[in-house]
Amino acid sequence: MTSTLQPVTALTLDLDDTLWPVRPTLIAAEKVLAEWLRANAPSTAQNTPPAAMLALRAEVAAEHPHWAHDLSAIRLETIRRALRKHGDDPALAELAFDVFFEARHAVTLYDDVLPGLERLASRYPLIAVSNGNAELHRVGLERFFAGSVSARLHGVAKPDPSIFQAACAAAKAPPHRVLHLGDDLDTDVAGALAAGLHAGWICRPDGAHADAAPRAGAHRFATLLDVADALGV
């Protein structure tokens, strides 16, 4: 393992479900949004329970496939459409989204993340590569990273090779010298390998792919501390 990764000079990391579990965070953020709507757009709150909001978001995503990489745009339009549909002021959508977006960053890091990032960042430039809309400074992790590449700003999402290439450029390292770490076997692992990077699968017990077999050519880790150990940091 260590000898295979000796040429690595930079690391790229996924965020959601790699550094924190995203589902409980989003559920909590949805509740915060619902409370805000009850106070500021009661008709929308009453007529748009979680299942209805989810269906509306799917409708927006289907109508705007060019937003597939931009979860913020989809979420904002969903809120705007719900407000309009139920007779509340659609101009409230941006305020409502801001409330949701703030709550979306109230993440609970996995226990290994802070000590793991501390060790990894002491030797390697770290670049965040995410299909989500989390922002490093909002979750208090900016100090560990040399940069970030988001699907929303880049224009396409993982597993498109170009987002990995952009991350390598940000790290000032060629793909074959970069190790990408992420939880998703398709977008992270397969995507990184196809783009010429090393791939590290962060397979946590609560992960969606926890029982799956690793992809050929990928390295399996349970935590970031395991990655640091393997790299001798």
Tens-digit pLDDT profile for residues 34-87: 999 999 999 999 999 988 998 999 999 999 998 988 888 999 999 999 999 999
- Judge if 135 and 96 occupy the same domain: no
Q: What is the pLDDT of residue 1?
A: 40
Instruction: Report the distance separating Cα 158 and Cα 69, nearest Å.
Output: 9
- Judge if 41 and 56 occupy the same domain: yes
The pTM score is 0.88
Q: What is the pLDDT of residue 56?
A: 93
CATH code, domain carrying 16: 3.40.50.1000
Which residue segment(s) compose the domain that 143 sits in?
10-21+108-231
- Judge if 116 and 211 occupy the same domain: yes
Count of the separate structural domains present in the chain: 2
- Judge if 69 and 122 occupy the same domain: no
Using one digit for the tens of pLDDT, what is the confidence trace for 93-148?
999 999 999 999 999 999 999 999 999 999 999 999 999 899 999 999 999 999 99
- Judge if 73 and 137 occupy the same domain: no
Cα 195 to Cα 13, 151, 179, distances in angstroms: 15, 16, 11
Torsion over CA of 194, 217, 120 and 154, rounded to 10 degrees?
10
- Judge if 143 and 68 occupy the same domain: no
End-to-end CA distance of the chain: 14
Instruction: Report the distance separating Cα 74 and Cα 58, nearest Å.
Output: 9
Q: What is the pLDDT of residue 208?
A: 62
Q: Which of 78, 104, 130 is the last residue of a domain?
A: 104
Instruction: For residue 5, tell me if it sits in a domain.
Output: no
- Judge if 158 and 97 occupy the same domain: no
CATH code, domain carrying 52: 1.20.120.1600
Q: Which residues pair with 218 in a beta bridge?
A: 199
Instruction: Report the distance separating Cα 51 and Cα 79, nearest Å.
Output: 14
Q: Which of 48, 71, 104 is the last residue of a domain?
A: 104
Q: Which of 104, 126, 148 is the last residue of a domain?
A: 104
Confidence of residue 3 (pLDDT cuts 50, 70, 90): very low
- Judge if 117 and 38 occupy the same domain: no
- Judge if 39 and 113 occupy the same domain: no
> What is the b/e burial string over 126-154, where b = at least 16 CB atoms within 10 angstroms of the residue's CB?
bbbbbbbbbbbeebebeebbebbbbbbeb
Overall average pLDDT of the 195-204 stretch = 95
Instruction: For residue 154, tell me if it sits in a domain.
Output: yes
Instruction: For residue 1, tell me if it sits in a domain.
Output: no
- Judge if 156 and 174 occupy the same domain: yes
Instruction: Report the distance separating Cα 52 and Cα 33, nearest Å.
Output: 14
Mean pLDDT of the chain: 93
Instruction: Report the distance separating Cα 38 and Cα 43, nearest Å.
Output: 8
- Judge if 121 and 81 occupy the same domain: no
Q: What is the pLDDT of residue 2?
A: 38
- Judge if 96 and 120 occupy the same domain: no
